Amino acid sequence: MFKVLVSDPISDLGIQQLVDAQDIIVDKQTGLSEDELVGIIGDYDALLVRSQTTVTKKIMEAATKLKVVGRAGVGVDNIDLNAATERGIIVINAPDGNTITTCEHTFAMMMALARHIPQAYAKTISGTWDRKSFLGVELRNKTLGVLGMGRIGSEVAKRAKAFGMEILGYDPFLTQERADKMGVTLASVDEIIRNADFMTVHTPLTPETKHMISTAQFQVMKKGMRIINCARGGVIDETALITAVNDGIVAGAAFDVFESEPPQADHPFLSHPQIIVTPHLGASTIEAQENVAIDVSEQVLHILRDEPFKNAVNMPPVAASVMNKLQPYFSLGEKLGSFAAQMATQAIQEIRIDYAGDLSEVDTQPLTRYILKGILARHMGDEANIVNSMHLAKVRDLNVIITSAPSTKGFTNLITVSLKGQNGEEPRVAGTLLAGYGERIVRINDYSVDVLPSGHQILISHTDKPGIIGNVGSLLGQKDVNIASMQVGRKQEGGEAIMILTVDKDVNKDVLSALVELPNLNKAQEVVLV
């Protein structure tokens, strides 16, 4: 008989399958303190939470029987994943339960924005019958730009087509084949902001997506754009949006999320007549709350009964002998994936991972998960983890090719990550562990290098000419960017070459733009490895 503790308010209907199970005893105790949980958790095989309970290392250490922690929702920041993994406790979530409800809220906001429904309602109930001030627009024959074609963005696109809208879709992992299947025109962010009538955001908040729509984008945006954000606050620069609305570039906006929640009382969104706001209601439906509880309860049952399960967010069990051999490479693998993803400038269609040397003799699947996480997290943030990374690659139709060979061309072990993009570009990066020196990147594209994969780096493509290193150093000095180390690589004198600079802090876009203007310098990118 298994005992399950439910420590947060979770839908009774959602956990009914646990209650009805003959081999399960469900105990619902909400509002417990950490010490109270520590005192009783040793009796339970499973723990179900939402966001109120913080599952700490102290609780895990007291949970001598605990096999699984289930989060009825998406985010797991209230659960100590490292402590769970160390103790062999599986952590699962319910990433699909709020897909439809968030999609529908997006459409509700789009309709309200198109027809000024909140503003018209407020004026009507105040006693003013005003039909002239609220002239709206139809969705039919309009172009909708969808930034982020994951679960929610894809559902929004499907419904928009039923309204007779043309869909432009952007996603770093959206292939032409998948776009064609959905009837979506594959587009860049720039193409969307220049051509769409409506734009909706469905991306996680990452360093890559923070303020991805800001002043520069508003300056070239199609006049009369209407913007909806039911994803994450911070993807759209709120200050720049206010300016764009006031300048007549943006006709209106509808936001369910804010950079800081709840927003301050004087937040300009709250009083602007052309902006509609709701208090983060994307997942707030009866069905969604039930669905996440149903999903996580079903997986808890599978885990307790030693049946196949999904949606784990921490490391799956791996044989100790394999783990001991692969563990030193996890960090390197994730950084190589991240480095390659930051080099890519087009949507990724194919991922190739080559293992050479001693690594060819073991099951490298756990290491592959780390590499894929590094690639996917560039654009998906915390949504990508070491357990779901292979699944996420599959559902996005990414072709993942794994090869292994005993020969390493001079290294004991070598990992090479190559990405094939839409336009044929193929950024490639290889790394190894050097005895006494640790992690090293030893090849970038066709250039041999020796780079510590850590911190803030500038990757420069240039023509090998005298004086270029001095020009780069002088410019960075003028911009108050301190160089910690430098590596150069070339194939032949006077030909194409690369330069990798490790610097002390973030490099803003103005610095990168200034670098590209230097003679014989072709391209400059920032790469951040943490």
In this prediction, residue 396 carries a pLDDT of 83
Half-sphere exposure of 167 (CA within 13 A, CB side): 27
Q: pLDDT averaged over the chain?
A: 91
* Residue 19 pLDDT > 90: yes
User: Which sequence positions are flagged as catalytic?
Assistant: 232, 261, 280
In this prediction, residue 197 carries a pLDDT of 98
* Residue 125 pLDDT > 80: yes
In this prediction, residue 28 carries a pLDDT of 94
Task: Yes or no: say if 168 and 224 are a contact pair by the CB < 8 Å rule.
Answer: no
Model confidence over 422-462: pLDDT tens digits? 777 789 999 998 877 889 999 999 898 999 999 999 999 99
The whole-number average pLDDT for the span 51-59 is 93
Neighbours of 365 (CB within 10 A): 13
Label residue 20 left, alpha or beta by phi (over 0 means left) and psi (-120 to 50 means alpha): alpha
Task: Yes or no: say if 496 and 465 are a contact pair by the CB < 8 Å rule.
Answer: no
Residues shown for the chain: 530
Q: Which residue has the higher pLDDT, 46 or 207?
A: 46
Q: Which residue has the higher pLDDT, 326 or 218?
A: 218
Model confidence over 358-371: pLDDT tens digits? 888 888 888 999 99
* pTM metric for this prediction: 0.75
User: For the structural domain made of 316-452, what CATH number should be given?
Assistant: 3.30.1330.90
Please give the sequence-ordered ranges of beta strands (E in DSSP) within 171-240, or none if there are none: 185-186, 198-201, 225-229
In this prediction, residue 408 carries a pLDDT of 64
Is the torsion defined by CA of 432, 434, 439, 440 positive or negative?
A: negative
Neighbours of 111 (CB within 10 A): 14
Tokens 């990414």 locate to 398
User: CA of 331: how far to CAs of 5, 85, 152, in Å?
Assistant: 35, 16, 31
In percent, the amount of the chain with pLDDT more than 70 equals 98
Tokens 């044929």 locate to 424
Residue of 281, 326, 322, 338 lying closest to 457 (CA atoms): 338
Q: What is the DSSP string of 320-336?
A: HHHHHHHHHHHHHHHHH
Looking at 3.40.50.300, 1.10.10.10, 3.30.200.20, 3.40.50.720, the CATH number of the domain 99-277 comes to 3.40.50.720
Task: Delimit the domains of the chain by residue range.
Answer: 2-96+287-304, 99-277, 316-452, 454-530
In this prediction, residue 465 carries a pLDDT of 87
In this prediction, residue 425 carries a pLDDT of 74
Model confidence over 286-321: pLDDT tens digits? 888 889 999 999 999 999 988 878 788 886 556 667
Residue of 260, 362, 379 lying closest to 321 (CA atoms): 362
Residue of 447, 448, 461 lying closest to 501 (CA atoms): 461
Neighbours of 349 (CB within 10 A): 21
Q: Copy the structure tokens of residue 81.
A: 């994943």
In this prediction, residue 283 carries a pLDDT of 85
How far is residue 25's CA from residue 51's CA, in Å, rounded to a whole number? 23
Tell me phi and psi for residue 162, to 5 degrees.
Answer: -65, -25
Do domains 2-96+287-304 and 99-277 share one topology? The answer is: yes
In this prediction, residue 318 carries a pLDDT of 64
* Residue 407 pLDDT > 90: no
- DSSP secondary-structure letter at 209? T
Q: In sequence order, which residues have a C-beta less than 8 Å from that of residue 348 and are 6 or more positions away?
A: 172, 173, 341, 375, 398, 419, 420, 421
pLDDT band for 379, please (50, 70, 90 cuts). confident
* Residue 341 pLDDT > 80: yes
In this prediction, residue 5 carries a pLDDT of 96
Q: In sequence order, which residues have a C-beta less than 8 Å from that of residue 509 and are 6 or more positions away?
A: none
How far is residue 103's CA from residue 114's CA, in Å, rounded to a whole number? 17
Q: Which residue has the higher pLDDT, 490 or 222?
A: 222
Task: Yes or no: say if 51 and 78 are a contact pair by the CB < 8 Å rule.
Answer: yes
The whole-number average pLDDT for the span 481-504 is 88
How far is residue 394's CA from residue 169's CA, in Å, rounded to a whole number? 19
Q: What is the DSSP string of 407-433?
A: --SS-SEEEEEEEEETTS---EEEEEE
The partner residues of 497 in beta bridges, in order of sequence, read 462, 490
CATH architecture of 454-530: 2-Layer Sandwich (3.30)
pLDDT band for 202, please (50, 70, 90 cuts). very high
User: For the structural domain made of 2-96+287-304, what CATH number should be given?
Assistant: 3.40.50.720
* Residue 237 pLDDT > 90: yes
